A and B are shown apart, each in its own frame.
Chain A
């Protein structure tokens, strides 16, 4: 499997969230200037939705009917937008802090949103306990809160299982919790484990934590869960930890596989996505050192199949439903202001899959 770049489109601000129509003809970009932008993937034609977040827009999810898209932001808000009119039809204050990531259930009826501020909880800057539920689930039709789950903040990523019966969420400390849906009276996880391989605590330069599991994805058969991020660093602000994915049997909380030695560079990996055929998955992010920042792996043995250097930070990867192309969102380093103008730094890239 090979990825061939067909289009690159520029957007004014870094793209932190991405949704794609089933046929891949349109992408929706949640951007660092708070906007949600609809992009024609063939022409690059872009239209900005009317409402914007008061901070970075961090994620978006397109409902299956294609008529409503929900965006989340670092203002803690969820905004329901009408795709056709570009108008905002509902606002819900989901969190007091950031929405780090959104996940949409396969049937489109539920939207999960993860939050949490990293605050010092101990001498070594262990994260403090949450002050609000770190994971919430909303009814996408009514906007009602239908479930709330406890976790240790910040919770960076979340994902639904293929039939929507499970919700997984992972945090900065590499702790993954999986809950059954609908949840019972308590929010006790059905499974819970911690991987130490995604989190740094500085032994030089500084003493605090950073990193975590930035992307999660259940395998199409629902038996395993993929997580991605960056390996531990002695200097947590060097950004040069090992590009990392791990695959777990989520019911046992046991690691099944992980990225192979010699097949990775260094840098934060922010997204994992399964190809619809379930035989491959893609992981992408930022390259600090190495030769690639986006790569396709074999689900069978975890080996690297194809890799590429996109020359930009990748925040999300979305396959089209037929699996014939993949759309990557991201950002370059924000260029310096020229006169009174800030050059565009958001990017969308469209790749065709060549089997």
Chain B
């Protein structure tokens, strides 16, 4: 059975973690995996491992695990694809040769300044957390998107699930009419992001954990189907489809078919929730507050979806942050939109009592160069960049890590994609080192190498 054929059958996979002090990080004995998995399935692990003092031991505690699952957690990823400039957002260097034309402004956190393009975020900085010391290894979009969407370096022959898919499996409910992984992006294209979008998001978790893509014109089909096909036709087609897919699944013993079938069922539920994906159905006052652009409107939609129970919503706008040309001329528009969106999104979640259960992340796949190219642009820069995350499981008002005076190098607390993903999973109450149950495949964990979460951010 090839790796790519194995996805669909692991949809009920449970996560286990191994504790092995005599092996390198991330490497565990196979028999230990089996033992833990069996124990967990029998519901016996809680007491047995309750005394394990490590972080991951918590997740072997049945009571803890159940309590965690009771409270639905959510995550909104504002995916700033193309990569925003840290200089024009979270780590300004005014007056330095790398600083660009925009100034910095004080924030609600004493001594911390952010770009003058973000006055609203400055006013709620004590609600945000800023990481100024991201340091990753990929300089090209496709590889970097892959890295920051999947959270670990690639391993040839195996497709790791993206964050959304991993969270869909860990936090989602298979019987929910709202998809567990919603991806809002109005732009069909996107160069390298387009390539990524066409790929396998769910990896070995299978199609039911792939995103349901909506937003912009993609949303129209939700209503279009019901408008164009008469009711009796729809029922006949549905009966036939069910029969054929069940037969196919039975005859072929195909996990793929089962995955696709589950995805189809999800789409049916989705069509029944079509209004949630109609921008025009969102309250006019909210629409005005968030602003007119498609990214802002989809961010509002994300808030609305979370309010209705969606576990994971990712909002993107093509690859609009890739400003190799007209860096400052485009960032002068994009950053204020992001500023306004973050301000309202976080305040709204807070006011609705949802921020404690909703993790909000705003990031791209890397940062931009400290130096300007001849086309008025900044190029790709993974060496030292910034991102923001706040909400569920995190402290508030923390600025972590630092770069040098020009923003060329990280000088304090470098973090990579694994640290970031370990933080995200931990904040959401999910074991970051949990092992995927993939019989016949190598051992994979949500985060490899036992990479530490950014502990200074964790509540």
For B365-376 the 0/1 string (1 means CB < 8 A from A) is: 000001111111
The answer to the question of B441 belonging to the interface, with a C-beta cut-off of 8 Å to chain A, is no
Asked if A237 and B323 make an inter-chain contact with CB atoms under 8 angstroms apart, the answer reads yes
The answer to the question of A106 belonging to the interface, with a C-beta cut-off of 8 Å to chain B, is no
Q: Which residues does chain A contribute within 8 Å of B193, judged by CB atoms? A: 205
Chain B stretch 327-374: residues in CB contact (< 8 A) with chain A: 329-330, 332-334, 336-337, 370-374
Question: Pick the contact of B189 from A203, A236, A238 — CB < 8 Å?
Answer: A203
Interface size on A, residues (CB 8 A): 49
The answer to the question of B264 belonging to the interface, with a C-beta cut-off of 8 Å to chain A, is no
Q: Which residues does chain A contribute within 8 Å of B336, judged by CB atoms? A: 117, 119
Interface size on B, residues (CB 8 A): 45
Please give me the residue from chain A that is nearest to B291 by CB atom: A120
Q: Which residues does chain B contribute within 8 Å of A236, judged by CB atoms? A: 325-326
For B85-99 the 0/1 string (1 means CB < 8 A from A) is: 000000000000110
Known A-B contacts A120-B291, A239-B377, A332-B374; the reply to A342 vs B319 at CB < 8 A is no
Main secondary structure of the interface of A (DSSP, over half): loop
CA gap between A207 and B298 in the complex, in Å: 14
The answer to the question of B438 belonging to the interface, with a C-beta cut-off of 8 Å to chain A, is no
Asked if B374 and A333 make an inter-chain contact with CB atoms under 8 angstroms apart, the answer reads yes
B159 to chain A, nearest CB (A): 24
Question: Pick the contact of B293 from A55, A125, A210 — CB < 8 Å?
Answer: A125
The answer to the question of A40 belonging to the interface, with a C-beta cut-off of 8 Å to chain B, is no
Known A-B contacts A334-B371, A335-B371, A337-B408; the reply to A120 vs B296 at CB < 8 A is yes
The answer to the question of B102 belonging to the interface, with a C-beta cut-off of 8 Å to chain A, is yes
Known A-B contacts A118-B329, A123-B293, A205-B322; the reply to A334 vs B373 at CB < 8 A is yes
B84 to chain A, nearest CB (A): 13
Question: Pick the contact of A206 from B102, B291, B320, B406 — CB < 8 Å?
Answer: B320
Known A-B contacts A55-B101, A334-B372, A337-B406; the reply to A206 vs B333 at CB < 8 A is no
> Across the A-B interface, how many residue pairs have beta carbons closer than 8 Å?
136
Known A-B contacts A54-B103, A119-B333, A120-B337; the reply to A288 vs B373 at CB < 8 A is no
B296 to chain A, nearest CB (A): 7
Q: Which residues does chain A contribute within 8 Å of B191, judged by CB atoms? A: 204-205, 235
B97 to chain A, nearest CB (A): 4
A248 to chain B, nearest CB (A): 24
CA gap between A139 and B77 in the complex, in Å: 51
CA gap between A285 and B142 in the complex, in Å: 31
CA gap between A333 and B373 in the complex, in Å: 4
Chain A stretch 72-104: residues in CB contact (< 8 A) with chain B: 74-75, 98
The answer to the question of B294 belonging to the interface, with a C-beta cut-off of 8 Å to chain A, is yes
Please give me the residue from chain A that is nearest to B324 by CB atom: A237
Q: Which residues does chain B contribute within 8 Å of A235, judged by CB atoms? A: 191
Q: Which residues does chain A contribute within 8 Å of B190, judged by CB atoms? A: 204-206
Asked if B320 and A205 make an inter-chain contact with CB atoms under 8 angstroms apart, the answer reads yes
B138 to chain A, nearest CB (A): 19
Asked if B97 and A337 make an inter-chain contact with CB atoms under 8 angstroms apart, the answer reads yes
Chain B stretch 387-413: residues in CB contact (< 8 A) with chain A: 406, 408
Please give me the residue from chain B that is nearest to A13 by CB atom: B97
CA gap between A188 and B323 in the complex, in Å: 36
Asked if A98 and B101 make an inter-chain contact with CB atoms under 8 angstroms apart, the answer reads yes
Q: Which residues does chain A contribute within 8 Å of B97, judged by CB atoms? A: 13, 33, 334, 337, 342
A-B contact pairs, 13 of them (CB 8 A): A98-B101, A119-B336, A120-B293, A122-B292, A205-B82, A207-B187, A210-B326, A239-B325, A268-B376, A286-B374, A313-B376, A331-B374, A334-B373
Knowing that A238-B324, A268-B325, A268-B375 are A-B contacts, what are 7 other residue pairs whose CB atoms are under 8 Å apart, sorted by A's residue number? A117-B333, A207-B294, A210-B325, A210-B330, A239-B326, A268-B376, A334-B97
B-binding residues in A (CB < 8 A): 13-14, 32-33, 54-56, 74-75, 98, 117-125, 128, 154, 202-208, 210, 235-239, 267-268, 286, 288, 312-313, 331-337, 342, 345
